[in-house]
């Protein structure tokens, strides 16, 4: 949908911004701060926690991901990124990295996606 596309396109603009734990933008981000920021710019509030974001979204199997969906890692989730298509996400991975493209298979504990409605 248009809103999901807006969330995905807004996150492109944050590439290169540094990872900072607790960062919620616009100049630095942690993983859930980035996804909350992107969806906030699309008009939908998400909490600043991967676990809470998973609770606030509808589960989507990896095979059905669409740009703008969230991808979660671990149980309970310790990481979240925003899916942009073709097996890729934009995320803020950890200290020492910047907001960047990564494969959704970067970490071995991918648990599924979440769709914001």
| Local structure of 100: helix, strand or coil | strand
Active site residue 94: no
Active site residue 109: no
The one catalytic residue among 79, 94, 102, 109: 79
Across the chain, which distance is largest between two alpha carbons, in Å?
34
Active site residue 31: yes
CA distance 104 to 117: 22
| Local structure of 54: helix, strand or coil | helix
The one catalytic residue among 91, 94, 102, 109: 91
The one catalytic residue among 31, 44, 56, 69: 31
Q: Could you list the active site residues?
A: 31, 79, 91
């Amino acid at each position: 949908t248009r809103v999901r596309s807006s969330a995905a396109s807004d996150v492109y603009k944050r590439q290169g911004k540094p990872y900072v734990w607790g960062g919620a933008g616009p100049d630095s981000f942690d993983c859930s701060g980035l996804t909350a920021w992107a969806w906030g710019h699309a008009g939908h509030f998400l909490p600043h926690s991967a676990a809470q974001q998973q609770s606030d979204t509808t589960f989507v199997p990896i095979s059905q991901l669409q740009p703008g969906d969230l991808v979660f890692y671990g149980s309970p989730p310790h990481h979240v990124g925003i899916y942009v298509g073709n097996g890729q996400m934009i995320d803020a991975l950890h200290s020492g990295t910047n907001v960047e493209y990564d494969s959704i298979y970067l970490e071995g504990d991918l648990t599924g996606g979440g769709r914001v409605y």
